[in-house]
Structure 1
Amino acid sequence: MNAFTYPEVGATRLGPLPDRYHHLRHRTRVGRGRADLDTVGAAITGWRMHRAAGARVEAAADRAEAGGTLTVSLGAGPFRFTAPCRVVWTAYEPDRVGFAYGTAPGHPECGEESFVAELADDGTVWFTVTAFSRPAAWYARLAGPLVPVLQRWYARRLGSALRRIAA
């Protein structure tokens, strides 16, 4: 798999999110306490979260590692869309676990998306999706304003999947 299809690699970690892209920020409570952080962190970085939300994931490794490659696909039959990605960064920290992937050639979008669980001081486990993207394929451009709606729906679906996994 080739390099990334956008120049702002790492912006979901370092910020700010770049101009000329659609921005997505979604945060939801997924659990409470260290055990829940460990559970959802493993689900995020081991692809279980995506699979529990209905995506297919084919990855070069069992868990997210910087530089690793994967494809994520959604849909069914002729309406299945495949998205080649490369892991940009990972966080395996005491109170923060997650990763970001960026788009690779052949992805219908251009940009980056991060998935992070954090343990707050009050014991709440929060899941945050941060992304910037713009259409790359003709069909993504054709879908226009529907794409951000679908991205928000998928971010909520990921949070729901993590709540179920933590429970």
Structure 2
Amino acid sequence: MTRLIRSLSDSPAGPSGRATGPNYPEVGATRTGPLPAGYHHLHHTVRIGTGRAAYKAAGAAVTTWAMHRATGARVDSAAEQAEPGVTLEVSLGLGPVRFTAPCQVIWTTYTEKETGFAYGTRGGHPECGEESFVVDLHDDGSVWFTVTAFSRAAVWYTRLGGPVVRSLQHFYARRLGRSLAGLVAGR
């Protein structure tokens, strides 16, 4: 079995599209665990299909930003695929009212049974922390998608929003799962 798991420490900072600068100290904790104290934790898992074809389609949708875009989010990145060090901006909102979230890919995994990545927040993000998006192919052929995150408010309006912000994060994790299932099913 081929295993390719890379992290930010494996990737040198370099040309455009790559930069250092996560704004939290626990870089990589969504991969290495446990999730750090002092943050809100999110864990959402959903079955999205069956078989190797579904696994490959889901992995591609996750790592090329297609899953995020299918939710209506805008993703701005010079890279077409998640790799450690790649920077991106994810924006959510309606019309002219959008919240922009600068992120950096922290780690990736591209294996026969696990595909995904995590991004961490950078300065200017309304939250501080890390979020991973992983597709797993189980031995029974079922394909599962998991979002794992730790975050806390980084600006006044997310502090003020408190429980509402956390509810929106959980809503968005569920929406990612539904969007991914739809992409895998060809809807």
Task: With the length of structure 1 as denominator, give the TM-score of the two structures.
Answer: 0.98
Residue 30 of structure 1 aligns with which residue? 48
2:83 maps to 1:83: no
Unaligned 5+ runs, structure 1: none
SS at match of 1:144: helix
Identity of aligned residues (%): 64
Residue 165 of structure 2 aligns with which residue? 147
In 2, Cα distance between the equivalents of 1:134 and 1:22?
6
Per-residue deviation, 1:161: 0.5
Aligned 8 A contact 1:2 1:105 in 2? no
RMSD (Å), alpha carbons = 0.9
**Match among 25, 28, 43 for residue 61 of structure 2:** 43
Residue 53 of structure 1 aligns with which residue? 71
Taking the TM superposition and a 5 Å limit, the aligned residue runs for 1:75-154 are: 75-154=93-172
Residue 8 of structure 2 aligns with which residue? none
SS at match of 2:145: strand
In 1, Cα distance between the equivalents of 2:24 and 2:91?
20
In 1, Cα distance between the equivalents of 2:47 and 2:149?
18
Per-residue CA deviations over 1:76-128 (Å, capped at 9, x if unaligned) read: 24431000000000001110000000000000000000000000111100000
Structure 2 counterpart of 1:127, one-letter code: F
In 1, Cα distance between the equivalents of 2:20 and 2:167?
29
Count of residues in Structure 1 that have an aligned counterpart in Structure 2? 167
In 2, Cα distance between the equivalents of 1:159 and 1:148?
17
Aligned 8 A contact 2:121 2:128 in 1? yes
Residue 68 of structure 1 aligns with which residue? 86
Task: With the length of structure 2 as denominator, give the TM-score of the two structures.
Answer: 0.88
Aligned 8 A contact 2:20 2:85 in 1? no
Per-residue deviation, 1:147: 1.0
In 2, Cα distance between the equivalents of 1:166 and 1:46?
14
Taking the TM superposition and a 5 Å limit, the aligned residue runs for 1:152-167 are: 152-167=170-185
SS at match of 2:54: helix
Larger CA Rg, structure 1 vs 2 = 2
SS at match of 1:75: strand
In 2, Cα distance between the equivalents of 1:152 and 1:24?
7
